[in-house]
Structure 1
């Protein structure tokens, strides 16, 4: 998804959210790994990466390598198993109704999250892609890896495209690879986050519902 949903002449603000363990309650690559019988190994690497103990790009390559040979048909099963975080769909609904541009930037995968994002009314999605050959995952990522720096660049590019000042940018995430985009936003929200992200966030939310972020969007909208 690269085309923006049509908005009126004025954009209220820009909301940029991580996906795994933020927009979703799950980690997409772990759901895929379960079908390959390697979920435990992938979870260990994910935990280390989100805590900032491993370089994200290296960790992603290592995790995807464990999925080599998996039939691409499992991706449909994973899509069917996605669970949005409580309150997040209402948050997106309120934001878009109030003139916000909503973007998902993810270390996860387009093949899994695009459908749900479209249904939710999200304007933009930036994520990784699995390399698939002959109907099976090759164990490699196709194209550039979406790491913390790529998330920050996407945030700044969306803001420039829509003419949104920093004060009216809100970014949400949970892990170490979200640090750069939270720093670049006017309001950085750490949702049930790892310590590495909490230390750079403007707002820390520990409740179950992401609708708790709405008052912070309202506050940003009038800056």
Structure 2
């Protein structure tokens, strides 16, 4: 049985010596190579290498081996089965903090009460999987007790979207995708982002408020990693979309359950432990680079993102 895979290489530049090392490694593995296709060569470089092998490939191991070759060049490598569903996805869900936006909202709220550094340290450890998410969230939210709700709006107004977030979602919506944000953050922010980006779904935690101030508690069940995956599966089921046609993107340890259940799960500029555990990892700055994993070329992307 012949197994077909597409290897995508993506980075600021893909020098000839790197390409030679990658193709040499593949040939040593008895992997047959097709004609290399250039997807991008302007603002960044991206190529696709079609491959064939007489049996299934351990894609995680091969990805690891190729990344050892490409990492010194700041080039990401992805291996996907060459099937119709590789390009034919129908649902995309993204984390909010440090994925759709460039910051962690809870850290920004903490700065407003003068405890930014302390909360940021807890957040970093939680996102790297060093702390229990539920316990760390309860601790951090507790430190926000007494924060006036007006501060939430001022923090929202200063939130910077991640480069490429808006055009990525606009392009996929034009192609009929369902879209959503699934966050361990807070619904005050996800609801506004849902409206701005015209998303179909938004799931997150709800902060308790009394007398115009945060009480230091979360209402209801905490949206942790397992809950995020459950929400993704719920949306996919409601929309009649198989998980292999779902894209999930996040940066933290609490994103791994949904990343690893989705057909295309991507750790985006993620913490080291998350990159190691995810099947695919992007280290480039723009979310638009996700489109190259779906086989888009820059000629297709540029007019759509204008």
Confirm or deny: 8 A CA contact 2:92 2:178 kept in the other structure: yes
Structure 1 vs Structure 2 CA RMSD: 1.4
What's the counterpart of residue 8 of structure 1? none
What's the counterpart of residue 158 of structure 1? 235
What's the counterpart of residue 7 of structure 1? none
Out of 98, 116, 132, the residue aligned to residue 39 of structure 1 is 116
1:73 aligns with 2:154: no
Alpha-carbon offset, residue 203 of structure 1: 1.9
What's the counterpart of residue 273 of structure 2? 196
Kindly name which structure, 1 or 2, has the bigger radius of gyration based on alpha carbons: 2
Confirm or deny: 8 A CA contact 2:127 2:253 kept in the other structure: yes
Alpha-carbon offset, residue 83 of structure 1: 0.6
- The whole-number CA distance in structure 1 between the counterparts of 2:292 and 2:240 is 22
Confirm or deny: 8 A CA contact 1:79 1:113 kept in the other structure: no
Alpha-carbon offset, residue 202 of structure 1: 2.7
The worse-fitting range, judged by mean Cα deviation, of 11-20 and 26-35 is 11-20
What's the counterpart of residue 201 of structure 2? 124
Confirm or deny: 8 A CA contact 2:181 2:190 kept in the other structure: no
1:57 aligns with 2:134: yes
- The whole-number CA distance in structure 1 between the counterparts of 2:169 and 2:222 is 26
- The secondary structure found in structure 2 opposite 1:105 is strand
- The secondary structure found in structure 1 opposite 2:277 is coil
1:206 aligns with 2:283: yes
- The whole-number CA distance in structure 1 between the counterparts of 2:250 and 2:127 is 11
Confirm or deny: 8 A CA contact 1:148 1:179 kept in the other structure: yes
Alpha-carbon offset, residue 207 of structure 1: 1.0
Aligned length: 209
- The secondary structure found in structure 2 opposite 1:104 is strand
Out of 178, 185, 190, the residue aligned to residue 262 of structure 2 is 185
1:94 aligns with 2:168: no
What's the counterpart of residue 170 of structure 1? 247
- The secondary structure found in structure 1 opposite 2:284 is coil
- The whole-number CA distance in structure 1 between the counterparts of 2:89 and 2:175 is 7
- The whole-number CA distance in structure 2 between the counterparts of 1:167 and 1:112 is 29
Q: Say which structure, 1 or 2, has more relative contact order (CA 8 Å, 6+ apart).
A: 1
Confirm or deny: 8 A CA contact 1:79 1:112 kept in the other structure: yes
What's the counterpart of residue 105 of structure 1? 182
- The whole-number CA distance in structure 2 between the counterparts of 1:135 and 1:157 is 33
Alpha-carbon offset, residue 69 of structure 1: 0.7
Alpha-carbon offset, residue 195 of structure 1: 2.1
The worse-fitting range, judged by mean Cα deviation, of 197-206 and 157-166 is 197-206
What's the counterpart of residue 15 of structure 1? 92
* Cα offsets for 1:19-56 (capped at 9, x unmatched): 10000000010111111111111101101101101010
**TM-score, with length taken from structure 1:** 0.90
Alpha-carbon offset, residue 184 of structure 1: 0.7
